[in-house]
Structure 1
Amino acid sequence: MDNKELILAVKALEVEKVIDPEVLYTTIEAAIVSGIKKKQISDYKNEVKDTVEVAKPQYENLKAILDRETGKIDIYLLRTVVEEVTDELNEISVKEAKEKYHVFEIGSLVREPIKVDTKTMGRMVAQTAKQIITQKIREIERNNLYEEFAKKEKDIVTCVVTRKSLVEKGHLKDKKGHAILDSEGHPIVKEVYNVFLAINNGEFILPPDEQIENEIYTIGQRLKVYVINVKKTTKAPIVTISRRHKELIKRLFELEVPEIYDGTVVIKDIAREAGSRSKISVYSSNEEVDPIGACIGPKGARIGNVLQEIGQDTEPGEKIDIIVYSENPAIYIENALAPAKILDIRLNEDAKEAKVLVAKDVFSLAIGKDGQNVRLAARLTGWKIDIVSDEMVSSLDDVSMGSPEKEILEERAEAVVETIKDEDTGGGTDSED
């Protein structure tokens, strides 16, 4: 079998698919052997004997050797050296092995060339070889894809939207579960899609649960996603990607802020409600470097690039609060509640609970719309935070941690919050200041 085109095809695959040519050569050799065996069995069943060498199915120990330069393929029968021959096709006597091949040890294998009729063998061998080689190439591509993404696990990759598949169709709702109406009073229809993304040589799904709320995806759009994990399977690797994950924020800042990339500025914690608001705490290992200023950048360029990436199609877009981390829990909690200013704070370190006193006019700011500001602050710091207005008490000395007064204060706080909401929204769903 002389096939220089085969060598050219292997070299082309080496460049196109980034596949080790030696893997392909050994696969081709194994495929040829498989094809010959298949042809033997076919001939035997149909009692067709094209050649003496391949007419019977007893040829089991075959070996094909492909010349890497010329493409010439030689077929050999591997025969075991034995004291007494019981299978003439697969065994050879030690005497004959000594005379023909200078092999003296019983149990050794001798390689004996055999002739193959290429006219009768070609079609079946080629068909079997093609199937095996195609399967091997797909296996190599899957392995390459897995290895490529395994390196990207817990990191971000850039991808392109290729298509969308409708999952469900419903009405857009507010936080209370009420349908949001358009200017004409009709419910706004919300369509939920699986978004397919092309990443290098693979296509992966961005499911609704990992999408940014209200973000619109268009065919051909380029965006960045966070690779949560990569699992190897018998088929294509399963890659879980996300636009909602809080680590996406961290990786984006690492790309935009050199001081974070080199470790001068460190992101300590992140609390995120994707598409709406995030809080991140930072600190600097160099007293001369302002961690917040480094993250914001000249004229807000650095944080602006991050915001554009995570809210490029949402309205009004995700906001990011950057605060300074402190090992002092009281200072850390105070910073986390920004932009609200606090009057006093008391801590129960055993229960990790904090009671914070604020002025009446900043109470709604400290709580945030639907409790978002205090909720994110609690997630960021890891403390349970209760906000108390000076309208309720004049001093936190009047309130004991875990005392019966706590339930009364919470009920009064909830009543104040509901009053503030009604005043702010006028019964509607207005956005936060």
Structure 2
Amino acid sequence: MLTAADFRGQFPFFTAHPDWVYLDNAATAHKPQTVIERELAFYQHQNSNVHRAAHGLAHEATRAFEQARSTVHQFLNPAADSQLIWTAGTTAGFNQLAFGLMGTLLQPGDRILLTALEHHANIVPWQFHCERYGIQIDVVPLDSENRLDLVAFHQLLEHKPKVVSISHVSNGLGHIQPIRQLVAAAKAVGALTIIDGAQGISAGPLDLAAIDCDFYLFSGHKLYAPTGIGALYGKTAALQLLRPLMYGGEMIKQVSFTGTVLNDLPYRLEAGTPNIAGALGLAAAVEFLQRFDPEVLQQHKQQLLQRLHQGCAQIPGLQLLSGLEDNAGIVSLVLPGEHPSDLATLLDQQKIAVRAGTHCAMPLYAALQQPGAVRLSLAPYNNIAEVDAAIAALAQAVELF
């Protein structure tokens, strides 16, 4: 059986930089050798545009590109009548949704429901379009444990929102939301359901058929794939509601100066030349992950999380914002009276890579009444020695302050 050590051994970064402790995985993950090689192989041996030219290289590129789509789609355990749209990432997907639903599903006077945990990508696109169209945004607050207030969630559903859009995993705290319960409740009042899977995609095996959401979005680079590639999973009926955000290229079937006929799904929502190498790299990342038992990787990650959380909790003065229960692998913390960036700088001097700030979740930290936090985020390629090094570096930094 392949182990977490075998997993780590597939990432060339750790061989090239054994002195770095990388705990910024919620921002982006490293890439295994197979992903790097797949992108390189495309540019060296297959480089051609897809869907267009008549030559053999183009046919091979198109075949590989569409096979990659199928590989990633099936990895999600999809609903029967669903499709996968390539995007540049989660943010691009949310911009497509916020623009695409205005005037089709969403009309003036309607409401949408977000939560206080959301990443800016699941807030700002809605704000700009909702203001223009006269649509109200309601927000689910947090409870005393920095988790969604489920009582308030059900109360806000009584307003019959047309759209409910929530994160699978909080990128600021690591808390996993009970998305099956939330989706079922939202669908019971007739809402279209959207799940931000930017952090959830790496939190464990997905079963989107069972979750039954209408849309699920994620970025490849959080799943050991290249940057600049992501996916918008959607049920076909929900995808058909979307007006394209961009026009041109393969999303067009017929053009004249008297009118244009758009292409069928999925191409209707994929304007211009796609990130072909990125799509192949994302499929390679999925195939790489399928070589490992997900339970083995998740158990290892949870062991690391418990050690990290408990070790940080024992450092006098540190305040932990993340709970240990239902946590995907993130510990966010503050040292009261000190700026998070100063603490992160001291860690950086010891080659401990973390993130400091509001993590693109300013409303969350406003609700927590914090200027930000230091975020340590784990992946299965991390190990006990790295966790212990991070705890020791934090203890030393706190002593210096």
- TM-score band by shorter chain is under 0.3
Task: Give the number of the structure whose residues are more often helix, by fraction.
Answer: 2
Task: Give the number of the structure whose residues are more often strand, by fraction.
Answer: 1
| CA radius of gyration, larger in | 1
Whose relative contact order is higher, 1 or 2, with alpha carbons under 8 Å and at least 6 apart? 2
> Under a length normalisation based on structure 1, what TM-score does the superposition of the two structures give?
0.22
